[in-house]
Amino acid sequence: MYWQSDMECMSRDDLELVQLERLQATLNRVARNVPLYRKRFADLGIDPYDIQSLADVQRLPFTTKADLRDNYPYGLFAVPLRDVVRMQASTGTTGKPTVVGYTAGDVRRWSELMARILMAGGITKDDAVQIAYNYGLLTGAFGLHYGVELIGASVIPSSSGNARRQISIMQDYRTTALVCTPSYALHLADTLDDLGINKTALSLRCGLFGSEPWTEDMRTEIEARLGIQATDNYGLSEITGVAGECLERQGLHINEDHFLAEIIDPQTGNVLPPGHKGELVITTLTKEAFPLIRFRTGDLTSLIDAPCPCGRTLRRMTRIPGRSDDMLIIRGCNVFPSQIETVITETGLHAPRFQIVLDRIGHMDQATILLEAPESFCTDSIKQSQRILENVRIRLNTEFGVAFEVRLVEPRTIDKSKKVRDLR
Ligand SMILES: [Zn+2]
């Protein structure tokens, strides 16, 4: 089943023509409307009209998360604010997040792309789809929500948290499809066990999972314990609706008519051929408000050139096994260690020495910050130390929407070279 068979199954030659045409239009638009790109192209002596083939894209400079941060909040918008109908945010490397704007057309295309991904994952208009992602500034619940509505299925926006409530909704509303992070799906399976509810008491038949890396073992476990068929999908908060698995489940089809995907060596920046693992770089081809040229995603994957038995001609990428930078994914939220440092510093602790410890309790991520007590703490009262710890904890939770535990440890006990201990 396809949502847009004309685009999802078109010949590679036709697809490449569409890509080139859209690439040229995008380059002209950013050169005209986005000062960063205008300057970069001028510095490199590139005229958008010089880009005459898809391979020419390699002449263009990369866009990094640092560029997004430096242009906060609206510096990279390619349309006036009056044309923007939606703001979402994505995690930045320090301090402020990035603001991502959408025009009405962007929202429409976002919905279409999510409808494709949902349908490739087995959703039909007869499904009742429970979306257990947080509905907020930082996440992509909305795109999935619109995609479900577009298909004509029923959307159940249960949002994140409260596993018991999720399960009672699942039972009462006879949910047939679950959309959340894979670790949350396993947490729901644990909760079912705790409640003594058999999976056969549910109407679930499929699940679409994303926002964090997961393994084939996790897929097998989710499928067995929830009695569903599970597929993976991929997007970034900066660039939504990028790719999703079909029911063949041999890689994620990239929506190439909307995104030009390259794989680069993260060290040299050189483009690698299909089959080679490297960092995924995306150029948006149809975004109006927030187009990005050669954006370095930090996600490691490789491209699969072989045709897929499902009939889609869109190239696939392998599932994401990890990152090329130090971004952490905690309960589906993106967190950089540098952001944590910024937050701690803002609570008044100068040059804090700390370590982030990540573990999994049951199937849920558990994040603990071990904070070295400053020397001055020795003379301070216990009450005051507790107040500072509590302050750090609240600030972290507010900033990331993830519950951190914060513990004080003795001075000079933290190995500063190891900022993160990931035990998951
Ligand atoms: Zn396929």
Half-sphere exposure of 300 (CA within 13 A, CB side): 13
Instruction: Give distance in angstroms: CA of 21 to centre of ligand 1.
Output: 25
Task: In the chain, list all ranges with CATH 3.30.300.30.
Answer: 329-422
Instruction: Give distance in angstroms: CA of 251 to centre of ligand 1.
Output: 8
Q: CA Rg, the chain, in Å?
A: 22
| Residue for token pair 């795109």 | 143
| Cis-peptide into 182, omega within 30 deg | no
Give dist(CA 190, CA 188) in Å, integer: 5
Instruction: Give distance in angstroms: CA of 305 to centre of ligand 1.
Output: 12
Give dist(CA 175, CA 108) in Å, integer: 26
On whether the 329-422 domain is CATH 3.30.300.30, my answer is yes
Instruction: Give distance in angstroms: CA of 407 to centre of ligand 1.
Output: 47
Give dist(CA 57, CA 45) in Å, integer: 14
Reported confidence tier of residue 91, pLDDT bands at 50, 70, 90: low
Dmax (CA) for the chain in angstroms is 73
Reported confidence tier of residue 261, pLDDT bands at 50, 70, 90: very high
Dihedrals phi, psi of 262, to nearest 5 degrees: -130, 155
Reported confidence tier of residue 377, pLDDT bands at 50, 70, 90: low
Instruction: Give distance in angstroms: CA of 69 to centre of ligand 1.
Output: 36
Instruction: Give distance in angstroms: CA of 322 to centre of ligand 1.
Output: 23
Instruction: Give distance in angstroms: CA of 127 to centre of ligand 1.
Output: 21
Whether the predicted pLDDT of 33 surpasses 60:
yes
pLDDT single digits (tens) 118-145: 999 999 999 999 999 989 887 679 999 9
For 354, left (φ over 0), alpha (ψ -120 to 50), or beta? Answer: beta
Give dist(CA 234, CA 295) in Å, integer: 15
| Residue for token pair 């991929």 | 234
Long-range contacts of 210-214 (CB under 8 A, 24+ apart): 210/181, 210/182, 210/234, 210/235, 211/133, 211/139, 211/140, 211/181, 211/329, 211/332, 212/181, 212/182, 212/183, 212/329, 212/331, 212/332, 213/319, 213/320, 213/321, 213/322, 213/329, 214/182, 214/183, 214/319
The pLDDT mean for the chain works out to: 92
Instruction: Give distance in angstroms: CA of 311 to centre of ligand 1.
Output: 6
pLDDT single digits (tens) 223-239: 999 999 999 999 998 99
Instruction: Give distance in angstroms: CA of 315 to centre of ligand 1.
Output: 9
Terminal CA-to-CA distance of the chain, rounded, Å? 36
Instruction: Give distance in angstroms: CA of 145 to centre of ligand 1.
Output: 23
Question: How many residues comprise the chain?
Answer: 424
Q: Which of 221, 121, 254 is nearest to 178 (CA)?
A: 121
Look up the CATH superfamily of 1-325.
ANL, N-terminal domain (3.40.50.12780)
Instruction: Give distance in angstroms: CA of 246 to centre of ligand 1.
Output: 5
Whether the predicted pLDDT of 379 surpasses 60:
no
Task: In the chain, list all ranges with CATH 3.40.50.12780.
Answer: 1-325
Q: For the ranges 53-57, 160-164, 242-246, 398-402, which has the lowest average pLDDT?
A: 398-402
Assigned token pair, 233: 């999908």
CA quadruple 5, 9, 12, 14: dihedral positive or negative?
A: negative
Instruction: Give distance in angstroms: CA of 6 to centre of ligand 1.
Output: 15
Residue 92 has what pLDDT?
Answer: 60
Instruction: Give distance in angstroms: CA of 313 to centre of ligand 1.
Output: 8
What percent of the chain clears pLDDT 70, i.e. is strictly above it?
A: 97
The DSSP code for 122 is T
pLDDT single digits (tens) 329-373: 888 888 888 888 888 888 877 778 889 999 988 888 999 999 887
Question: CA distances (Å), 50 to each of 178, 344, 417, in order?
Answer: 46, 47, 46
Instruction: Give distance in angstroms: CA of 123 to centre of ligand 1.
Output: 15
pLDDT single digits (tens) 6-20: 999 999 999 999 999
Contact by Cβ (8 Å): 212, 424: no
